[in-house]
C-alpha cells in the first residue's frame, strides 16, 4: 500500500494544475450540496414545526360507520377476508357528539401527548374600523397550549390576560392589522344575527398567512354560546410524542374510535411534496458539479495513463502486478477525494453558518426573519458518498486501462 | 533439469527451441526460429546481430515479458513458459533485472527512490534497510553523492547507471540489458559495460547484453550471433 502510495502521489503532483481543478470541483460540489440541503431541509423542518405548532399532529373529527364492512360481516363469509374498511363505503356524521368521553379515550393512547377539544365555526369580526370574515375556534386554553405553540406565537398581549378574561379573544397579526385593533380594544363577533362583544387580549403570529389573517380564538364556553351549540365539538386536536409516526397512530385511532383521523402528513401532503422535490432537485443540481469534477478526474487520469505508459510498463517489468497499477490510480483518486471532501466540509460548515445569519423576511407558509438551516451529519455523509462514488468510478476506469498495459509491447514500441 | 543439476552447472537460465512469430496475417514474421541458449552465473553473455534480427524479441521472452509460440524456458531450474502472469510477475521482481536502451526511470523520483522501487515491491526490507541498500548500490555504480537528485536532473550516463542500480536492487540471478550503451557516448558506454562485467564477476550474476556493438560483444564471456531469427 505504502509503496504504491508514494508512486500515486508523485504521479498526482506531476499534474498539479489539472488535479487542482478537479479538487476545486469536488470542494465546491460537496460544499454547495451540503449548504443547499441544509437550507431546504431547514425550511422544510420550520414548515413542519409551524404545522405541528399550529394545527397539531392529528385531528380527530367526524364519526363514521363502515357500510361495506358491515355488509360483509352480515354475509358471514369468512373466506373472502375482506377486513379493511373502505373510505368510499363510509357514512359520516359531522363533528364529535361526545367530546369529553372521546378525549378521555384518545388520552389513553401512549403515543398521545396532548388533546384539545375545538369548536370551530365561521363568523364576522368587527372593530370600530372595519369588519372581516373569520374562522372562530373555541378552545380550552390549557388543553390547547398542550397541542400547539400558541404560547410562543403571541406577539402582543399575553395569555394570562386572555385566560383570566371570560370574554377575551385572541386574533391573528394580519387580521389585527386589517381591523387596526390594539390590545384592550373591543371586538364584536357576529353569527346568524347574534352579536357578542369581546376584549382583545392577545395578537398571535403563526407565520401561516391564512391563519394570521382569518383565525381567532375564544373560550370554548363562549363559542358554544356564539354558535348556539351547547353540546359536541368540531374536532379534537392531538399532539404526539413522535409526530413523524402520525400516519400509523392516525390509522390506529381511526380503527379504534370509529372517527375520521387526519395526520399532519396527510393534511400537508402537497407542501411536503413541494419541499421533497425542492430538496431532491437542489441536491441533483449540486451533485452535477461533483459529476463534472469526476469527469475532470477521469480526463486527468486518462491523460496520466497515456503519458505514463512507459513508467507503467517499467513498473510491470520490475514486478508490480496489475493490482498494484490499479491501486496506484485508485489511490490518486482517493487522495483527491479525501482532500476535496474534507475541504468541502470545512467550506460547507462556514457557508452554512454564514447563510444562517443572513436576514430574510418570510411570512405566508411560515414565519422567519433569517435563513433557516438544518445542521445534519447526513448532508455531509450524502455529499461524501456521492463524491466517493463519482471519483472512484472516474478513477477506476483509467486504472483498469493502465493495469491492462502489456509491458513487453510498450517497451518494444518505446524503443526499450 | 533438476535444481541439483542446475546448481552443478551454474546455469541461471536455459531456453530451448524458442519460436516467436510477430505481427498478424500477411505481416506475420517468424522472428525467432528455434533459438536455444544457456546463461551461466558470473558470466557476461552477448547477443549480437543487425537491427530487426529478433534480439529484443529474444530478450523479452527470456525476461518473461513475452511468451514464445513454441519452446521452453527454465529460470533457476523452474519451467516458466506456461507459468501464469501471477507467477511470472514476482519472478521478474526477485530474480530478474532489466536495463533498457533508454533508462526508463521515474523522472519525479530521486536516484535512490528509483533503485528502491523493486525493493518496495519485494517488501523484505525495512525502509531504513532499503535506504542503506540503495546507498550501497549507488556507491557500486559510482553515484554515491547523487542519490537524492531527481532522475531528470542527472546526465544520460548517470541515468543509465541508476537504471543498472535499479536492476541490481533485489540482487537478481540474471540481468538482461537491451542495448544498454546504445544511447551513450563512448566514455559512458565503456563505463556502463565495465560496470556490468564487474558486477557479474563480483555477485555471480548472469548478464545477457543484447547489442549490435561487436567490439563490446567481443569483450563478453560468451557471444551469440542472431541472424534472421537463428542463433549461432
* Residues A117-151 pLDDT 10s: 999 999 999 987 888 999 999 999 999 998 998 88
User: Each residue of B101-110: pLDDT tens digit?
Assistant: 777 898 889 9
User: Each residue of B69-92: pLDDT tens digit?
Assistant: 999 999 998 999 889 988 999 999
pLDDT of residue A372: 84
Secondary structure (DSSP) of A86-149: PGGGEEEE-SBS-HHHHHHHHHTSTTEEEEEEEEEEEEEEE-SS-EEEEEEEEE-HHHHHHHS-
Same domain, A202 and A278: no
Tell me whether B178 touches chain A (CB under 8 Å): yes
pLDDT of residue A16: 85
Same domain, A13 and A114: no
DSSP element (H, E) containing B26 = none
pLDDT of residue A68: 56
- Band (A93; pLDDT cuts 50, 70, 90): confident
CB contact under 8 A, B108 and A316: no
Tell me whether B187 touches chain A (CB under 8 Å): no
The answer to whether position A65 is within a domain reads no
Total domains in the fold of chain A: 2
Give the residue-averaged pLDDT of A154-179: 90
Interface of B with A in 28-47 (CB under 8 A): none
The answer to whether position A255 is within a domain reads no
Same domain, A288 and A187: no
Domain containing A115 equals: 96-233
Tell me whether A7 touches chain B (CB under 8 Å): yes
pLDDT of residue B27: 79
Question: Which residues of B fall within a CB distance of 8 Å from A308?
Answer: none
Same domain, A311 and A196: no
The answer to whether position A70 is within a domain reads no
Q: Are A10 and B106 in contact, with CB atoms under 8 Å apart?
A: yes
Same domain, A188 and A301: no
Same domain, A24 and A129: no
Helix (H, G, I), strand (E, B) or coil at A374: coil
CB contact under 8 A, B60 and A415: no
Judged against a pLDDT cut of 50, whether residue A91 lies above it is answered with yes
The answer to whether position A7 is within a domain reads yes
User: Each residue of A175-191: pLDDT tens digit?
Assistant: 999 999 999 999 999 98
pLDDT of residue A365: 67
β-strand partners of A285: none
- Domain end marker among A233, A256, A281: A233
- Band (A69; pLDDT cuts 50, 70, 90): low
The answer to whether position A244 is within a domain reads no
Cα–Cα distances in angstroms (integers) from residue A414 to residues A325, A400, A411, B223, in the given order: 19, 21, 5, 26
Tell me how close the Cα of B102 comes to any Cα of chain A, in angstroms: 6
Residue ranges per structural domain of chain B: 43-66+88-231
CB contact under 8 A, B104 and A311: yes
Name the residue facing A10 among B92, B106, B178 (closest C-beta).
Answer: B106
pLDDT of residue A76: 46
Question: Which residues of B fall within a CB distance of 8 Å from A318?
Answer: 92-93, 98, 117-118, 121, 166
Same domain, A192 and A134: yes
The answer to whether position A339 is within a domain reads yes
Judged against a pLDDT cut of 90, whether residue A354 lies above it is answered with yes
User: Each residue of A38-67: pLDDT tens digit?
Assistant: 999 998 888 888 888 888 889 998 877 766
CB contact under 8 A, B104 and A408: no
pLDDT of residue B173: 92
- Domain end marker among A215, A233, A251: A233
The answer to whether position A174 is within a domain reads yes
Tell me whether B72 touches chain A (CB under 8 Å): no
Which positions of chain B have pLDDT values less than 70? 1-9
Helix (H, G, I), strand (E, B) or coil at A196: strand
pLDDT of residue B61: 93
User: Each residue of A356-409: pLDDT tens digit?
Assistant: 888 877 776 676 777 888 899 999 999 999 999 999 999 999 999 999 988 888
Tell me how close the Cα of B10 comes to any Cα of chain A, in angstroms: 24
pLDDT of residue A115: 93
pLDDT of residue B26: 76
The answer to whether position A288 is within a domain reads yes
pLDDT of residue B9: 56
Tell me how close the Cα of A359 comes to any Cα of chain B, in angstroms: 52
DSSP, res A365: S
Same domain, A109 and A218: yes
Tell me whether A415 touches chain B (CB under 8 Å): yes
- Band (A1; pLDDT cuts 50, 70, 90): low
Ranges A95-99, A215-219, B119-123, B132-136: which has the least confidence = A95-99
Query: Among the CATH numbers 3.40.50.720, 1.10.10.410, 3.40.50.300, 3.30.1380.10, which is that of B43-66+88-231?
Result: 3.40.50.300
- Domain end marker among A209, A233, A257: A233
User: Could you tell me the end-to-end alpha-carbon distance of chain A, in angstroms, rounded to an integer?
Assistant: 28
Tell me whether B98 touches chain A (CB under 8 Å): yes
Q: How far apart are CA B151 and CA B166, in angstroms?
A: 12
Amino acid at each position: 500500500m505504502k509503496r504504491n502510495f508514494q508512486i500515486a502521489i508523485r504521479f498526482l503532483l506531476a499534474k498539479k494544475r489539472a488535479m487542482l481543478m478537479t479538487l476545486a470541483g469536488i470542494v465546491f460540489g460537496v460544499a454547495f450540496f451540503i449548504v443547499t440541503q441544509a437550507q431546504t431541509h431547514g425550511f422544510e423542518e420550520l414548515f413542519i414545526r409551524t404545522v405541528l405548532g399550529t394545527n397539531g399532529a392529528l385531528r380527530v373529527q367526524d364519526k363514521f360507520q363502515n357500510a361495506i364492512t358491515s355488509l360483509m360481516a352480515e354475509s358471514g363469509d369468512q373466506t373472502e377476508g375482506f377486513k379493511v374498511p373502505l373510505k368510499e363505503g363510509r357514512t359520516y356524521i359531522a363533528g364529535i357528539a361526545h367530546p369529553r368521553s372521546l378525549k378521555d379515550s384518545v388520552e389513553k393512547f401512549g403515543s398521545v401527548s396532548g388533546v384539545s377539544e375545538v369548536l370551530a365555526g365561521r363568523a364576522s369580526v368587527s372593530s370600530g374600523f372595519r369588519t372581516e370574515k373569520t374562522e372562530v375556534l373555541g378552545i380550552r386554553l390549557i388543553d390547547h397550549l398542550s397541542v400547539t405553540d400558541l404560547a410562543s406565537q403571541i406577539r402582543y398581549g399575553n395569555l394570562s390576560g386572555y385566560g383570566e378574561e371570560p370574554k377575551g379573544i385572541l386574533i391573528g397579526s394580519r387580521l389585527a392589522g386589517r381591523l387596526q385593533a390594539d390590545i384592550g380594544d373591543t371586538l364584536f363577533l357576529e353569527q346568524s344575527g347574534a352579536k357578542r362583544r369581546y376584549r382583545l387580549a392577545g395578537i398571535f403570529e403563526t407565520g401561516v398567512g391564512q391563519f394570521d389573517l382569518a383565525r381567532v380564538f375564544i373560550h370554548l364556553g363562549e363559542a358554544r354560546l356564539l354558535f348556539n351549540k351547547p353540546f359536541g365539538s368540531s374536532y379534537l386536536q392531538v399532539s404526539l410524542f413522535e409526530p413523524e409516526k402520525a400516519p400509523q397512530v392516525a390509522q390506529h385511532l381511526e380503527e379504534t374510535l370509529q372517527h375520521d383521523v387526519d395526520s399532519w402528513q396527510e393534511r400537508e401532503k402537497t407542501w411536503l411534496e413541494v419541499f421533497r422535490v425542492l430538496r431532491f432537485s437542489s441536491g441533483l443540481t449540486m451533485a452535477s458539479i461533483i459529476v463534472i469534477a469526476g469527469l475532470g478526474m477521469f480526463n486527468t487520469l486518462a491523460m496520466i495513463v497515456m503519458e505514463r505508459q512507459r513508467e507503467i510498463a517499467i513498473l510491470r517489468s520490475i514486478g508490480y502486478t496489475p493490482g498494484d497499477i490499479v491501486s496506484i490510480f485508485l489511490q490518486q483518486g482517493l487522495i483527491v477525494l479525501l482532500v476535496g471532501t474534507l475541504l468541502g466540509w470545512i467550506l460547507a460548515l462556514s457557508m452554512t453558518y454564514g447563510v444562517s445569519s443572513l436576514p430574510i423576511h418570510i411570512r405566508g407558509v411560515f414565519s422567519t426573519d433569517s435563513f433557516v438551516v438544518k445542521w445534519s451529519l447526513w448532508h455531509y455523509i450524502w455529499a461524501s458518498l456521492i463524491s466517493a462514488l463519482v471519483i472512484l468510478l472516474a478513477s477506476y476506469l483509467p486504472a483498469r486501462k493502465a493495469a491492462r498495459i502489456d509491458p513487453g509491447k510498450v517497451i518494444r514500441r518505446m524503443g526499450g | 533439469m533438476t535444481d541439483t543439476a542446475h546448481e552443478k552447472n551454474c546455469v541461471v537460465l536455459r531456453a530451448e527451441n524458442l519460436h516467436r512469430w510477430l505481427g498478424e496475417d500477411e505481416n506475420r514474421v517468424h522472428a525467432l526460429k528455434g533459438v536455444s541458449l544457456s546463461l551461466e552465473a558470473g558470466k557476461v553473455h552477448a547477443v549480437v546481430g543487425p537491427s530487426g534480427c529478433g534480439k529484443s524479441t529474444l530478450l523479452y521472452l527470456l525476461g518473461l515479458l513475452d511468451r514464445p509460440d513454441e519452446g521452453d524456458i527454465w529460470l533457476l531450474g523452474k519451467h516458466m513458459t506456461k507459468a501464469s502472469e501471477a507467477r511470472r510477475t514476482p519472478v521478474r521482481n526477485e530474480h530478474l533485472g532489466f536495463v533498457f536502451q533508454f533508462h526508463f526511470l521515474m523522472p519525479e523520483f530521486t536516484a535512490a527512490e528509483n533503485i528502491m522501487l523493486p525493493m518496495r515491491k519485494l517488501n523484505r526490507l525495512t525502509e531504513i534497510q532499503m535506504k542503506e541498500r540503495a546507498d550501497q548500490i549507488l556507491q557500486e555504480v559510482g553515484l554515491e553523492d547523487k542519490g537524492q537528485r531527481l532522475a531528470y536532473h542527472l546526465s544520460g550516463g548517470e541515468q543509465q547507471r541508476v537504471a543498472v542500480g535499479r536492476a541490481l536492487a533485489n540482487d537478481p540471478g540474471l540481468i538482461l540489458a537491451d542495448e544498454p550503451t546504445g544511447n551513450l557516448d563512448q566514455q559512458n558506454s565503456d563505463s556502463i559495460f565495465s560496470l556490468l562485467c564487474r558486477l557479474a564477476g563480483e555477485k555471480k550474476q548472469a548478464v545477457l547484453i543484447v547489442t549490435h556493438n561487436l567490439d563490446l560483444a567481443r569483450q563478453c564471456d560468451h557471444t551469440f550471433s542472431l541472424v534472421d531469427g537463428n542463433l549461432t
